[in-house]
């Protein structure tokens, strides 16, 4: 309260001081908090600045707020203190939390309709749009940077082991056989993974058309129950634990901590986000290829689409009405095919609109950068089912933490796959019930 008053006083003083200057530029500033560090952050600033030059009324002010978690927490804290930004970038894991915060968020479909800006959900990839729509098909936040896990592999190692470098293993049994050959050729470990829960459980389930949670993975209601302890998941994690012993699989930590194992040539295959492409290209001292995530052929012969990660832009309530016109204009600019194409080719995130994909295809980008189209092909294969549309679970940042705790316990041999996943489900369900209770 005190801070509020103080800042208002300061604003008053400064506005009096700059009265002359202020009348010359009555620009409305739009705060945009994001989590894009390094080169991606610079690109985002550049895009915002270019938007600012297209018109005089609004000025987008992009502010880097740290990691995804830090950005979301900062925005929530700011909202509680009534100092919230207009736009905040939130990762997919925070989607359910944002959606339940009715009154705090201004749904994008409504914003665009209110401001009469063109906005067509059909122009987006269905795998992307499905993740961020409500049950009526309305898009609640603006898709911006989406990725999906793929498999990077060391082509030189494949050659050395007598494997076809242009044909990465498509199924898990093939991958196991290839890993054994690679180990026989002198490589320490077969494969490693980043983001264990996202890649080895959430995407595994989607690809094999198995549920992650009841109520259509949480899309149909808050009274959902986690189901990650099904036969497929127990078998798969059990297999990982078995492979860990002989280093066919070698665990390298959460997030992208396992990256050095692939870069150093210790592990020959590496599953991570398609957005890691630039990092892999910069760090791998060998020729590498990109393949789709493997599947279990006895569970499915027609693997489904994988699910996305990444972030969307959410609009927060509580600002004067005319500000939102600027937000809507900025969103139209960001979703234009040209900007989307540029962003996709620069970052390695998937092209989220069909148009951006077509343009990139026409420009021959995929021919020049082999493997960059694997992610979009994997995202768009087959017809999405209830199980492959994505997931919408409250407190999911904590649930993912619980899942990864249990995966680590299983891989280190402290628990069996069944025990560990059962425990993960039980603890997660407690959180889901609590989320249901506080978000009635």
Alpha carbon distances (Å) from 382 to 80, 133, 299, 302, 355: 43, 20, 16, 8, 20
Residue 135, φ and ψ in degrees, nearest 5: -65, -20
- Comparison of 220 and 430: residue with beta carbon closer to another protein: 430
Q: Which helix (H) or strand (E) holds 86?
A: none
**Segment 210 to 269, residues that bind another protein, using CB under 8 A:** 244, 251-254, 257-258, 260-261, 264, 266
- Comparison of 159 and 426: residue with beta carbon closer to another protein: 426
**Segment 264 to 293, residues that bind another protein, using CB under 8 A:** 264, 266
Long-range contacts of 156-161 (CB under 8 A, 24+ apart): 156/286, 156/287, 157/182, 157/185, 157/187, 157/265, 157/268, 157/286, 158/182, 158/268, 158/289, 160/185, 160/186, 161/185, 161/187
Q: Mask of contacts with another protein, 381-410, x by CB under 8 A?
A: --------------x-xx--x--xxx-xx-
The CB-of-423 to another protein minimum distance in angstroms stands at: 9
Tell me if 4 contacts another protein by CB under 8 A. no
- Comparison of 143 and 252: residue with beta carbon closer to another protein: 252
Helix (H, G, I), strand (E, B) or coil at 62: strand
- Comparison of 249 and 343: residue with beta carbon closer to another protein: 249
DSSP 67: S
- Binding residues for another protein, rule CB under 8 A, total 41
Tokens standing for 98? 């944002």
- Comparison of 70 and 166: residue with beta carbon closer to another protein: 70
Rounded CA separation 198/403 (Å): 10
Tell me if 100 contacts another protein by CB under 8 A. yes
Q: Burial, 268: exposed, middle or buried (Cβ in 10 Å; 0-12, 13-18, 19+)? A: buried
**Segment 42 to 71, residues that bind another protein, using CB under 8 A:** 69
The CB-of-317 to another protein minimum distance in angstroms stands at: 10
CB 96 within 8 A of CB 393: yes
Cα torsion 273, 278, 280, 286: sign: positive
Q: Mask of contacts with another protein, 348-387, x by CB under 8 A?
A: ----------------------------------------
Tell me if 412 contacts another protein by CB under 8 A. yes
Stretch that binds another protein, among 18-26, 130-138, 155-163, 430-438 (CB under 8 A): 430-438
Rounded CA separation 415/423 (Å): 10
Tell me if 305 contacts another protein by CB under 8 A. no
Tokens standing for 110? 């409504």
Tell me if 110 contacts another protein by CB under 8 A. no
CB 116 within 8 A of CB 135: no
- Comparison of 8 and 414: residue with beta carbon closer to another protein: 414
Tokens standing for 433? 């019930």
Tell me if 438 contacts another protein by CB under 8 A. yes
The CB-of-417 to another protein minimum distance in angstroms stands at: 14
Tell me if 342 contacts another protein by CB under 8 A. no
Place of tokens 């209770």: 437
Tell me if 416 contacts another protein by CB under 8 A. no
- Comparison of 128 and 421: residue with beta carbon closer to another protein: 421
- Comparison of 56 and 433: residue with beta carbon closer to another protein: 433
- Alpha helices for 55-133 (secondary structure H): 68-80, 95-100, 108-114, 126-131
Residue numbers at the binding site for another protein (CB under 8 A): 69, 72-73, 76, 79-80, 97, 100-104, 244, 251-254, 257-258, 260-261, 264, 266, 395, 397-398, 401, 404-406, 408-409, 411-412, 414, 427, 434, 437-440
């Amino acid at each position: 309260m005190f801070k509020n008053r103080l800042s208002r006083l300061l604003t008053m003083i400064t506005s009096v001081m700059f009265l002359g200057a202020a009348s010359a530029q009555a620009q409305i500033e739009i705060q945009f908090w994001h989590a894009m560090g390094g080169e991606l952050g610079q690109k985002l600033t550049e895009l915002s600045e270019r938007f600012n030059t297209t018109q005089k009324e609004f000025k987008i002010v992009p502010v880097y707020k740290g990691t995804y978690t830090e950005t979301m927490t900062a925005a929530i804290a700011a909202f509680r203190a009534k100092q919230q930004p207009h736009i905040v970038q939130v990762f997919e894991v925070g989607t359910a939390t944002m959606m339940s915060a009715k009154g705090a968020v201004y749904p994008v479909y409504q914003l665009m309709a209110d401001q009469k800006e063109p906005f067509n959900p059909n122009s987006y990839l269905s795998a992307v749009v499905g993740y961020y729509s409500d049950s009526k098909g309305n898009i609640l936040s603006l898709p911006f940077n989406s990725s999906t896990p793929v498999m990077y592999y060391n082509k030189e190692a494949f050659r050395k082991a007598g494997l076809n470098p242009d044909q990465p293993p498509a199924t898990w049994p093939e991958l196991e056989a290839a890993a054994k050959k690679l180990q026989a050729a002198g490589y320490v470990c077969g494969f490693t993974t980043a983001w264990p829960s996202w890649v080895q459980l959430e995407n595994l389930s989607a690809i094999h058309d198995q549920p992650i949670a009841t109520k259509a993975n949480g899309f149909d209601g808050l009274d959902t129950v986690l189901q990650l302890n099904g036969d497929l998941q127990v078998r798969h994690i059990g297999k990982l634990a078995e492979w860990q012993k002989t280093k066919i699989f070698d665990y390298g930590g959460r997030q992208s901590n396992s990256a050095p194992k692939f870069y150093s040539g210790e592990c020959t295959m590496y599953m991570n986000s398609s957005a890691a492409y630039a990092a892999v290209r910069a760090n791998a001292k060998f020729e590498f290829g990109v393949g789709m995530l493997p599947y279990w052929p006895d569970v499915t012969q027609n693997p489904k689409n994988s699910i996305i990660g990444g972030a969307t832009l959410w609009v927060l309530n509580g600002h004067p009405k005319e500000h939102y016109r600027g937000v809507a204009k900025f969103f139209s600019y960001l979703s234009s095919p040209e900007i989307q194409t540029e962003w996709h080719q620069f970052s390695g995130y998937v092209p989220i609109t069909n148009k951006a994909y077509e343009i990139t295809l026409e420009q021959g980008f995929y021919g020049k950068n082999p493997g960059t189209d694997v992610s979009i092909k994997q995202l768009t294969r087959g017809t999405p089912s209830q199980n492959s549309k994505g997931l919408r679970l409250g407190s999911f940042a904590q649930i993912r933490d619980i899942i990864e705790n249990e995966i680590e316990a299983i891989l280190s041999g402290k628990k069996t796959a069944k025990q560990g996943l059962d425990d993960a489900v039980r603890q997660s369900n407690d959180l889901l019930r609590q989320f249901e209770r506080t978000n009635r």
